[in-house]
Amino acid sequence: MRIVTWNVWWRFGPWQTRQKAILTALRELRPDVVGLQEVWAADGENLAEWLAGELGLYWAWGASPAPERWQRRIGDPTVGIGNAVLSRWPVVEQDVLPLPAPPESDDGRLALYARLAAPGHEVPFFTAHFSSVLHGSAVRCGQAAALAGFVARHVGDTPFPPVVTGDLNAWPDSDEVRLLGGYKTAPAVPGQVLLDAWEYADPAAASATWDAANPYVARTLEPSVRIDYIHVGPPGPGGVGHVRSVRRACAAPVDGVWPSDHAAVVADLADTD
């Protein structure tokens, strides 16, 4: 089972040409399930719906409850923003969780849950987008705790472990990432552990998903770092859900166009016991 997480940079930059590059990159990856952040919706169209149609996938969408700050940045109050899931299998249940933030920095971040009717086992899948304020670790810790509780409420009765994807806007050794994982510090939900799939990566592999090699990142003068994650619960019976491999992807131009300011993360999970 191939899992992808990717922040697709909403309608910033040359979004029309980026849209085509995003499709090309996903088509080459041949994913089974994708968690997307910063997905746009406008004029009756939704990027996730379009991608799903082009790729032959099912889709689920969660709209931000407070898009106004985003809309002011592009000067268009009609464009929505949210998270989405693309899936090879039908979505049989979904839910949205607005993530907590203080009023002065609340820009409508959320987590989206989609339960997927994969062959043999239903998959509880989540994708989230945390606050990007550089000094906002405490805010992100609150969001990590809320997300952990959201996962616990929706795991349900399936041997497949929960899969939690997203742009956490946090470095791997940060309090919020450790809190969400629950194995380097006390878990936000007692007994709940979500393993960072990157623990299974080649130690020599490039890991930065916020990468100064990308011109959209370079102009921020920020360091290159991994801020996008796939977390998976401990494997189920017979090793179902075990991380077989993980790598960075979508970290180069497509036909001369950088698809996003983020690179993606791809993980292959065992889908049978």
Task: Write out pLDDT tens, residues 51-102.
Answer: 999 999 999 999 999 999 999 999 999 999 999 999 999 999 999 999 999 9
Q: Convert the pLDDT of each residue in 23-43 to its tens digit.
A: 999 999 999 999 999 999 999
Nearest one of 160, 166, 157 to 131, comparing CA atoms? 166
**Token couple for 97:** 């969780």
Mean pLDDT of 118-135: 96
pLDDT band at 271 (very low <50, low <70, confident <90, very high): confident
Nearest partner of 225 among 143, 147, 138, 132, judged by Cα: 132
* pLDDT level of residue 267 (50, 70, 90 thresholds): very high
- Work out the angle between the directed axes of helices 47-55 and 15-29 (0-180°, nearest 10): 40
Could you tell me the pLDDT band of residue 163, with boundaries at 50, 70 and 90? very high
pLDDT tops 60 at residue 273: no
Calculated CA dihedral for residues 226, 231, 235, 241, nearest 10 degrees? -90
Q: Are 266 and 3 in contact (CB under 8 A)?
A: yes
pLDDT band at 272 (very low <50, low <70, confident <90, very high): low
So what's the architecture of 2-269 in CATH? 4-Layer Sandwich (3.60)
